[in-house]
Structure 1
Amino acid sequence: MILRLAADALESFGEGFEIKPALNGREAVQILNSSKVDLVLTDLKMPVMDGYELLSYLSKNFRNIPTIVMTGFGSPEIAKRLKQKGVIHYIEKPFEFDDLNPKQARLD
């Protein structure tokens, strides 16, 4: 449900985003290998291949793609671990979908 809501929110911002949703990390890898991707927005908890596995794949194969992580389990330890994986920002759930709006983006 969050996947669909996030995709709808991004599309509604009218920035010309082409959204390519993946239900799990394995689907995300397939998209990464077959399409041009400018930004990855992922959750840590996913079936089949979790967010940490996806982040490891990205750091080995797609270092230049900026990544934002959504998590319901934010902590200083998780923030440190994500930073080490090259994540540019993480958003703690629940969050407002307007937080994804590039016109309202905050730099941390």
Structure 2
Amino acid sequence: MPSDDATVKLDLNNPVFQEHLLTLQKIERNAALDTLNKIRQLTWNQLYRDPGLKWEKITSIKPPKGIDAVYSLRISRSRRATAHRDGAFIRMLTIAPDHDATYGKK
């Protein structure tokens, strides 16, 4: 596992994440892209501690096979994304339509 002092690498290749990102309204999409640009400049330690991103382990849903844990982070003012860490990469999974949906509620 790379050091937590290593710079975060982005993986945006998940088709569900791409669909969610590309269908956001322009203001939300720009905010999400700004957040992704910020993330790629952080180390893992900085990402974990960043008060604006609010990186949190999601305990209310079972992670998919092969993934240790799924996390949520704020991607815009009103939306959270789900992701998991895979070595040096943050692999983006989804952008929830609203805050509660991130945690499997509703």
What range describes the TM-score normalised by the shorter chain of this pair? under 0.3
Q: Which has the higher relative contact order, 1 or 2, with Cα contacts under 8 A spaced 6 or more apart?
A: 2
Using the size of structure 2 for normalisation, the TM-score is 0.27
